[in-house]
Structure 1
Amino acid sequence: MAATYLVLGVFIASLTITGAIKPIGVCDGRVADNLPPAPDVVGLYTSNGIGKMRLYDPDQATLQALGGTDIELILGVPNGDLQSLATPTAANVWVQNNILAFSPAVKFLYIAVGNEIKPTDPEAQFVLPAMQNIYDALVSAQLGGQIKVSTSVEPSLLGQSFPPSSGSFSATSSPYITPIIAFLANTGAPLLVNVYPYYPYISNPQDIRLDYALFSAPGPVVQDGALSYQNLFDAILDAFYSALETAGGANVGIVVSETGWPSFGNPAATVENAVTYYQNMINHVMNGTPKRPGQPIETYLFAMFDEDQKGGAETERHFGLFSPDKQPKYNLIFS
């Protein structure tokens, strides 16, 4: 396997958009007991030209290490903190301790208030109040226009996703997500969406082609009216755009806050497939989707390291782009 890692290379460019916006970032998942210290991790981002990070909690050592770098940050509010932050006083303290204490040395882009909360989760009732309170605290600190407040969701909120033009939120999720969408529309923030073509592919390989999931189909696979789809990633994103439009959020953008492909633990989770997915996605990300052509897709790869303490399927522990010893798992080149 080590020899395979060395010979399979993929060039991942740290592409730039007009205005020096960098569309590609990497998530710094830390559910592991063997990871490098925060300064080394940030140094690895910098030395590889990775211009954006998603951090799932306000880890003080990582925030300290990010100071003075050019790395732009999505900072997460852990799901377990949402209830307390539904109180304005607690939200003010959170912003003071985790944003104001490090700004402007740390370049905060978004606050992700909760990750993949479902409408039936106990925390669901606290998501929007926490978002509003954090936003209000940022406004009071004169950072409301600079740092956007959102939440990170996943495709189970969609009741219909095919064809993409018919995308809509389910009857169960609409009462939860519609007020959040109104907040995003009013504050000019994007919706953060975790998009993994890997999962629908392995759940239905009879009907979903592997090349459609890996961006390698030679031509259109799905025709949706005048729009043609050559990859599943675009189809999922455009289903979300359609759902946003239906829910009153036609002006709400999308940031892909996680995407990736595992390298081990399932017949489809191979080094070859992971390399194909990442390379083709990076080649594609500047193009936008059929519904939003020419609009570069701000995308965060999951994740920087394999995480040996993740639960669930074996694949969950094999999404890293780097091994914990900081060696590139796929011999990736970031420039």
Structure 2
Amino acid sequence: MDTFFFTRNITMSATILLLLGVFSSIGLQFAGAQPIGVCYGANGNNLPSKQDVVNLYKSNRIGKMRIYDPDEATLQALRGSNIEVILGVSNPNDLQSLTNPSAAINWVNKYVKPYSNNVKFKYIAVGNEVHPGEAAASSVLPAMQNIQKAIAAANLQGQIKVSTAIDTKLIQDSYPPNKASFTNPAKGYMQPIITFLSNNGAPLLANIYPYFAYANDQKNIPLAYALFTQQGKNDAGYQNLFDALLDSVYAALEKTGGSNIKIVVSESGWPSAGGVGTTVGNAGTYYKNLINHAKGGTPKRPNGPIETYLFAMFDENLKQGDETERHFGLFNPNKSPKYQLTFN
């Protein structure tokens, strides 16, 4: 009798442990499948330590981070965090140097390979919003090719995809979205990049900002359409500006031989101050609705979710440019939330 109960208890314990392991595995997989990440944004002199920032991501169940340069203190803090990472190549200086294959190998060996066992690199963004005609434009594709070769040499090509981040200034005739295409200067710039992405099974990173489209054309773009609060669809079949902008990039890809390429929204946000329509209420509405919307798809790509990175974790008081650029933060420098958001 005692033996029976002893054996039964051991069996039950083993079963419970097995189930716990299965649920834990499911939980990890579920966390990795969540569509929402947040861009770090570190142009401030009043921000928390790198480790505190990583801990803030974890405590808010933010499973994806975009960083814009290979800051080693941030990479150290990310060790063992299970946070998926877009690692940026700083432009323009690093872009130029990485056109040298040896420099690309050194870059990967310094910033990627030593961390790859316990930092979950997902994408390397070679350049951010580089436009054709800029001095850095001629460096983007060679740098992408060299980083790809260096990633393969490190046997990490199955884990990490190499891409570049564009903005919607490269798109013309964006309404209705199906009519959109790359501008004439952008076609020559993007065509070989699209071929590279297609050959390597990599996504295109795109920064999608309904705020700037609204701010620049309030006559034709209702605020509700930009904030996901419009009731009903417009004559093009769209209920929100985010989908229209994203599908315009998909349409441009299709017209340039990239119909098989997925788009990752590598930035999207709404400033809380500094310009037209910039209130805490509007920004909070945008972020909340975008988080919910990213679970689904767009009219052109209905099978979601849409992998999306909110911009940005903090207001950046040293950011250059218009006043709005310094007010995209989701959190205050003291780590308190600016908005009540549930990320994943």
TM over 0.5: yes
| Aligned-partner SS, 1:287 | coil
5+ residue gaps, structure 1? 1-14
Bigger helix fraction: 2
CA distance in 2, matches of 1:194, 1:217: 22
After TM superposition, give the deviation of residue 17 of structure 1 in Å.
8.2
Superposed displacement of residue 37, structure 1:
1.0
1:7-86 alignment, distance < 5 Å: 20-79=32-91, 80-86=93-99
- Describe the superposition over 1:264-299 as per-residue Cα deviations: whole angstroms up to 9, x where unpaired: 112300011111111111111111000010221000
Segments of 5+ residues of structure 2 without an aligned counterpart are: 1-26
Q: Corresponding residue for 1:96?
A: 109
Aligned-residue RMSD, C-alpha: 1.4
- Whole-angstrom distance in 2 between the partners of 1:218 and 1:194: 25
Which runs of structure 2 are paired with 1:290-301 in the superposition (5 Å)? 290-301=299-310
Q: State the partner residue of 2:9.
A: none
Output the CA distance in 2 between the equivalents of 1:292 and 1:189. Answer: 17
For the residues of structure 2 that align with 1:251 and 1:334, how far apart are their CA atoms? 29
- Matched residue, 1:132: 145
- Tell me if structure 2 keeps the 8 A contact 1:16–1:22: no
SS of 1:220's equivalent? coil
Aligned with residue 321 of structure 2, among 312, 317, 331: 312
1:268 aligns with 2:270: no
CA 1:20–1:54 in 2, change beyond 3 Å: closer, same or farther? Answer: closer
1:258 to 260, 267, 281: 267
CA contact (8 A) 2:40 2:67 kept: yes
Q: Distance in 2 between matches of 1:55 and 1:164?
A: 30
TM-score by length of 2: 0.90
Pairs aligned (count): 317
1:184 to 192, 197, 201: 197
1:62-118 alpha-carbon deviations (Å, 9 max, x no partner): 000000011000000001210100100000000000000101200000000000000
Q: TM-score when scaled to structure 1?
A: 0.92
Bigger radius of gyration among the two: 2
Matched, 1:120 2:133: yes
Mapped contact 1:214–1:231 kept (Cα < 8 A): yes
- Distance in 2 of aligned mates of 1:334 and 1:75: 21
In the alignment, does 2:300 pair up with 1:288? no
Distance of aligned partners of 1:271 and 1:293 in 2 relative to their CA distance in 1, 3 Å threshold: same
SS of 2:86 mapped into structure 1: strand
- Checking the alignment, whether the CA contact within 8 Å between 2:36 and 2:343 is kept in structure 1 is no
1:7-64 Cα distance to aligned partner (Å, 9 max, x none): xxxxxxxx99869412100000111111111001101101111100000000000000
Query: Which string of whole-angstrom CA distances, capped at 9 and with x for unpartnered residues, describes residues 225-263 of structure 1?
Result: xxx100000001111111101100110100000000000
Which residue identity is paired with 2:37?
G
**Larger RCO of the pair (alpha carbons < 8 Å, separation 6+):** 1
